[in-house]
Structure 1
Amino acid sequence: MQEQIKTLNAGSLVNIAKKQWGPFVEKLEWTWRRHPMLLVGIAILIFMALLAIFAPYLWTVDPTAVDPPNRLKEPGSAYWFGTDFVGRDVYSRTIYGTRVSLAVGFAVGALSAVTAAFFGLLAGYFNTFDLIIMRIMDAIMSIPHILLAIALVSMVGGSVPIVIFAIWFVTFPRAVRVVRSSVLSLREEVYVEAARAIGAKTPRILWFHVLPGTIAPLMVTGTLIIAGSILTEAILSFLGAGIDPETPAWGSMMADGRRTISMAMWVVGIPGGFLTLTVLGINMIGDNLRDILDPKLSRSGT
């Protein structure tokens, strides 16, 4: 009797689980069949985010601690990823470097999305603002973004907020152009014309009728901006124009490893591999979001 009750309880739990998680699992299976690289990219990003969040609990040591007697130790049981030229633990520095890269990438992505939505709506909907805003955007984009970012960081300093501001400043004009392009077509749609005809005020039209139509292209552009920002931060750190050299960052780790690359390739290869994997995962998400959200691509795929 007790075994039957246990069987019934187990069966009821399975049925409840199927009801609660069944639709999610089916959606996951459908996504895997149609866009497997999207799930791969999401898995990579989640993995990197977990590393950043739980860095202090992942058997790490002080990433800035110097131990000259143990310099250039090969990867092994004592030092999983080896040590660099002054004896710092490469594993700990790589894990903590994930925090800097993701913080910069997502902060720049969020700032770019907000500013692009604001200026893109103004430029696309109002001809008066269009000329002024787009000429400013063109002027910013005409300067090589790495050089401009280096100049901005050099003038103010190499803290994380300054690096975020510098990368955002050279990045957001691209997102503004994307939003403006969408608004130029959306403002001629029938439902927008109908809203004007019934006397809807301009702010309401922009907020409820135009802005939602820009979210899809902005999401795709945002993922590419996040990936590009992570790469730009690494380049700045590699060139010595990024954040404080004492702060663990993948770019500065690779720069430090240049002098010993012939003897200790892991000092350059491991942070470089993490950087490549992170940027690749985010680009996978962006490419697949574009395929899903772009109606033209969706129709051509079917």
Structure 2
Amino acid sequence: MNTVKSVRELRAAVARARGEGKRIAFVPTMGNLHSGHAALVTKAAQRADFVVASIFVNPLQFGAGEDLDTYPRTLAADQERLLQAGCHLLFAPTVDEMYPDGTTVQTRVSVPQLSEGLCGASRPGHFEGVATVVSKLFNMVQPDLAVFGEKDYQQLAVIRAMVRDLNMPIQIIGEPTVRADDGLALSSRNGYLSPEQRAVAPALYRELSQMADSIRHGQRDFAALIVAAQAQLLAAGFRPDYLEVRHALTLRPAMIDDRDVVVIAAAYLGNTRLIDNLYLHLDDASA
């Protein structure tokens, strides 16, 4: 696996692979990689001949008071994990390489509606930062396909809409959330949890699972389910940010006759913000 830091080197390496007739896959990351990221790269390697990954901690998607400066940078360990997962090329640019004129004058990409509410409400400007950097990376790599994790459900919806609306010839593939044995969704931010918090953290997934089971068995009073689950999270020591039942494609509040829904949540445990979701397809028998 080669590591490059400039757009010029990146484009040259991708051009060589494409010149050899190879199908190009791309996996963008912010580093501090775990098994969930490795699953994205493995999926990419199954779908393409040449896998490009990026590691870039994007300042545009961090708000005031968020963990931009303290976000873990673990390049050597990340390189080894990417190599083992089947990555061929790593793009690890500096901020100056990505934003040579600075971030304040950078052209921005905005995806309305899907970026609003949920994490978009709690983190103003976050999805504009995500859409902007992913758009830049897509233009740099020009992949045939890109793989994103379903744990960041709203982000995946935003990226899919951006690709569709801007007519980008890129197939977007969602990879199911990878979980620890106790159900906690793998996340780079799990490393912020104390041992005591880590023992409590799986309660978020348990509450989502209980809500999903109730919905599968015909419960359609979503508001009541949300209130009960929030109470349980508060009792466990969480500070819920949001807990919602949304239409799986539009992310609008779910209606009782919707067949594709997502139970989606964000909650703080101490200072650590955890997100998770469960997608449900409901057949007529469950209604």
Which structure exhibits the higher relative contact order, with contacts defined as CA atoms closer than 8 Å and separated by 6 or more residues?
1
TM-score class normalised by the smaller sequence? under 0.3
Q: Which has the larger radius of gyration?
A: 1
Give the structure with the larger strand fraction. 2
TM-score, normalised relative to structure 1? 0.21
Give the structure with the larger helix fraction. 1
TM-score, normalised relative to structure 2? 0.22
